[in-house]
Amino acid sequence: MGARITGWASAVPPTVVTNADLEARLDTNDAWITERTGIRARHVGGVTSALTVESGRRAMAMAGVDPASVDLLVLSTTTPDQVVPATSSSVHHELGLSGAAFDLNAACAGFVYALVVADSLLGSGFRRALVIGSDALSAITDQQDRSTAVLFADGAGALVVEGGGPEPLLLAQDLGVDGSAARLIYSDRGGYMVMEGREVYRRAVRIVVESVGRVLEQAKVKLDDIAVFAPHQANLRIIEAVNARLGFPMEKTAVVLDRTGNTSSGSIPLALVAAAEQGRLRDGDLVLLSGFGAGMTWASAIARWGAPPGRPA
Ligand code: ACO
């Protein structure tokens, strides 16, 4: 069974916090944040369901699909609006979708997990999927803690994926988790995010390089064949270190973290959508996605980019 991307969109809340804003209220400074992370500004104050609805509605409008014909919503989030029910149920209702909807939590690797799950369900009877990564990390970040407040923020990105057609959506996938590292990044119920940044950094570079190697091998694809690499947007230094080890150019890498911060599930689709909006992706191009996060989870995939019906890029 084939599947194809036919619409995409992203959403961020309107409130922007710059490094200068943080400098004014925390023991930090623009030079530290920029040099250590590459982040210059981030959007905060969002609500996961609202960001999800906004990105989903715009992606469906782009694809030109009737919401009632979308019979699958897979929502990747670590910050659901509430514990029960899943945020995807209210989003499903608000958007007027049909069929099934569920939340999936694999932290910053979650969007790639969601894409893989949606693709496999499209291969077993579902017709049309909305795959959304959406997080409002600002709600679970202690805004007085300089070690996390400079990093975490809010955002969402959505893809419409249509089942059928001759070509597969995914050429390869590699999903995993190492639960022995679960306490490196966590937020207990009702608490704030806690992270051992240096250890996460060290593991992230290794995990992403290994996982990307596996999907390239599986798909029999060379790095030269990749049009755009959309890595998890946690830290520019991690992305640069990964690219240096892989031998992949920064010019073909999608980076939005300078203006979005780390938006967890939102980060990879925000980067992908930005690359598409900049005209860097054409119908049929291969995109490499790779995320890592709390768990510690990881997920990489090689996907074929698409176009809205009747509008090949
Ligand atoms: N401003 C100024 N100084 C700071 C700040 C700040 N905002 N934060 C920490 N510091 C200080 C520390 O206290 C420390 O001081 P010390 O040397 O006196 O003890 C010093 O800066 C260095 O701290 P490190 O933590 O060693 O700095 P590092 O270079 O490792 O950068 C960072 C920290 C940015 C967090 C980095 O380790 C990182 O990006 N790690 C990976 C995070 C990540 O990828 N998370 C993704 C998963 S998140 C998820 O799943 C939701």
Over the stretch 168-186, which tens digit does the pLDDT of each residue have? 999 999 999 999 999 999 9
Over the stretch 209-223, which tens digit does the pLDDT of each residue have? 999 999 999 999 999
Ligand 1 near 235 CB (within 6 A): yes
pLDDT of residue 310: 79
User: Measuring from atom 14 of ligand 1, which residue has the nearest CA?
Assistant: 147
Ligand 1 near 36 CB (within 6 A): yes
User: Measuring from atom 45 of ligand 1, which residue has the nearest CA?
Assistant: 234
pLDDT of residue 311: 62
Fold of 2-165: Peroxisomal Thiolase; Chain A, domain 1 (3.40.47)
Q: Which atom of ligand 1 is nearest to the CA of 37?
A: 34
User: Which residues of the chain, if any, have pLDDT below 70?
Assistant: 311-313
CA of 162 to the centre of ligand 1 (A): 41
DSSP for the chain reads: --EEEEEEEEE--SEEEEHHHHHHHSS--HHHHHHHH---EEEES--HHHHHHHHHHHHHHHHT--GGG--EEEEE-SS-SSSSS-HHHHHHHHHT--SEEEEE--GGGHHHHHHHHHHHHHTTT--EEEEEEEEEGGGGS-TT-HHHHTTB-EEEEEEEEEE-SSS-SEEEEEEEE-GGGGGGEE--TT---EE-HHHHHHHHHHHHHHHHHHHHHHHT--GGGEEEEEE--S-HHHHHHHHHHHT--GGGB---HHHH-B-GGGHHHHHHHHHHHTT---TT-EEEEEEEETTTEEEEEEEE----TT---
User: Measuring from atom 41 of ligand 1, which residue has the nearest CA?
Assistant: 201
User: Measuring from atom 51 of ligand 1, which residue has the nearest CA?
Assistant: 264
CA of 197 to the centre of ligand 1 (A): 5
Which part of the chain has CATH 3.40.47.10? Answer: 2-165, 170-304
State which of 21, 30, 36 you would mutate to test the pocket of ligand 1, scoring each by most atoms of that ligand within 8 A of its C-beta.
Answer: 36
Q: What angle do CA 56, 208, 4 make, to 5 degrees?
A: 35
Active site residues: 108, 232, 262
CA of 251 to the centre of ligand 1 (A): 26
CATH 3.40.47.10 matches 170-304:
yes
User: Measuring from atom 38 of ligand 1, which residue has the nearest CA?
Assistant: 197
Rounded-to-integer distance, Cα 114 and Cα 299, Å: 10
Q: Give the rounded distance of the alpha carbon of 8 from its chain centre.
A: 13
Half-sphere exposure (Cβ direction) of 304: Cα atoms closer than 13 Å: 18
Ligand 1 near 200 CB (within 6 A): yes
pLDDT of residue 7: 98
CA of 102 to the centre of ligand 1 (A): 34
Q: Tell me the pTM.
A: 0.97
State which of 147, 148, 206 you would mutate to test the pocket of ligand 1, scoring each by most atoms of that ligand within 8 A of its C-beta.
Answer: 147
State which of 18, 113, 135, 200 you would mutate to test the pocket of ligand 1, scoring each by most atoms of that ligand within 8 A of its C-beta.
Answer: 200
